[in-house]
Structure 1
Amino acid sequence: MDKKKFSIKDIPGWAVMLGIFGILYLTGLHTEAIGQVQRLLLATGVKNADVPAIDEVAANSETELYTVAGAPMAGAGFKMVDLNGKTVNFESLKGKVIFLNIWATWCPPCIAEMPNIHSLYKKMDPNKVAFVMLSVDEGGMEKVKKFVDKKKYTFPVYMPASQFPQEFYSTAIPTTFIISPEGKIVAKQEGMAEYDTEEVREFLLGLAK
């Protein structure tokens, strides 16, 4: 009786995919691979960021999502440290529109949306719009700095240097907040999204006037 010769075609598709994912996981590339797939999803435009109409923000104080009673602004008292080790008070950004993105290097959706955030950043006037890319990595600053340098991102990246403000707690990562020059949270996006859109650009510039 002839024995059937083994062929790679005999391997089930699920086993091949499991093997590929296993290799990616062991090499630490799975996060990047998943992020690339999710980036393709963002490119379709189905996950564009949702922002309110600028006239609604100006006319309706209830647009503010959350600010501690009596505080001068959302995130008052919060301290951050940049990748050069300099401590920055969040309150020092008041007077500018703040684009606050909470992310981590281990988060595929964060990696997926970051290129379009960087694209948006390069189109904004830093004197009017302050970007705060706030990493919640627990692996230390060097890990974050290595990631940012590898990607050649130039937007400001920070890590928490004090207790995290309750206004910025979220059940999802990434989460993005847009804060008005008066210090009010006027938009919140949980999960990844496309931010370099005409709608978001006009919203940020409208707030900055």
Structure 2
Amino acid sequence: MNKRKFSWKDIPGWAVMLAIFGVLYMTGLHTEALGQVQRLLLATGIKNANMPDLEPTPSTPAVSVNSPMATAEMVGADFQLVDLNGKVVPFNSLKGKVVFMNIWATWCPPCIAEMPNIQKLYENVGSDKIAFVMLSVDAGGREKVKKFIAKKGFTFPVYMPASEMPQEFESPSIPTTFVISPEGKIVAKQMGMAEYDTKEVREYLQNLAKK
């Protein structure tokens, strides 16, 4: 009786995929691989940021510096950030600027997928009245995050929490992005990955910064 010769074609497709994913997982490359796939999804334009009231309405009155809104406490006023060089930055120091805050982590594929387009947004908005806060919630410490950012070549400001996360910024999933007005109020929130470097988002941030 002849023994049947082994053929790679006999291996089920699911087993091949499982083996590939296993190798990626063991080498730590699965996050990057999934991020690349999700980045292709963003490139299609079907996941553009869906912020409420993306276009500011002309009827919105300007905020006087003496108005209650202007003097109200900023959301997360007691929150403390620390940058990748160890400098502590009070979140309240950003009041008066539009804050684009993205909560992310190095182990999160959709976070990695959207970061290149956030980098482009950072480069393209061109206003010192718009502050970017890329807030890493990694548990591995600053050095891990610092190495990741350096490897990717990102130049947007990156921070980590230096105090307890304010309740207003809590989210069941990441990435989550908040836009905070110069008056210190959350005006938009996006849960999940999205394409932010669009004409609509750029104009929204720039118009908000002019108020």
Range into which the TM-score falls when normalised by the shorter chain: over 0.9
Matches for 1:98-117 after TM superposition, within 5 Å: 98-117=99-118
Q: 1:88 to 1:24 in 2, by over 3 A?
A: same
TM-aligned CA deviation for residue 57 of structure 1: 9.1
| Equivalent residue number for residue 26 of structure 2 | 26
The alpha-carbon deviation at position 56 of structure 1 amounts to: 7.6
Count of equivalent residues: 200
Give the alignment of 1:142-181 within 5 angstroms.
142-181=143-182
Aligned with 1:54: secondary structure? coil
Q: What secondary structure, in the 3-state scheme, does the structure 2 residue paired with 1:178 have?
A: strand
Superposition map of 1:1-209 within 5 A: 1-51=1-51, 52=53, 53-55=55-57, 58=60, 72-209=73-210
Q: In the alignment, residue 103 of structure 1 is paired with which amino acid? A: W
Aligned partner of 1:186: which letter? V
Supply the distance in 2 between the matched residues of 1:146 and 1:117 (Cα, whole angstroms). 19
- Report if the CA contact (8 A) 2:95-2:183 is conserved: yes
Change (3 A) 1:126 1:80: farther
Where do 5+ consecutive residues of structure 1 fail to align? 62-69
Change (3 A) 1:115 1:43: same
Find the aligned partners of 1:36 and 1:182 in 2 and give their Cα distance. 37
Q: Provide the secondary structure at the position in 2 that maps to 1:142.
A: helix
Residues in 1 aligned to 2:20 and 2:125: alpha-carbon distance in whole angstroms: 40
1:45 partner amino acid: G
Question: TM-score by structure 1 length?
Answer: 0.92
For structure 1, which segment, 44-53 or 144-153, has the greater mean C-alpha deviation from structure 2 after superposition?
44-53
User: Any unmatched runs of 5+ in structure 2?
Assistant: 64-70
Q: Shift of the alpha carbon at 1:34?
A: 0.4
Q: Root-mean-square deviation (CA), in Å? A: 1.6
Maintained 8 Å contact 1:95/1:182: yes
SS in structure 1 at match of 2:183: coil
Amino acid at match of 2:17: M
Per the TM alignment, residue 6 of structure 1 is displaced from its structure 2 partner at its CA by 0.6
What is the deviation of 1:4? 1.4
> What amino acid is aligned across from residue 29 of structure 1 in structure 2?
L
How does the TM-score come out when normalised to structure 2? 0.91
Measured in 2, the distance between the counterparts of 1:163 and 1:2 equals 69
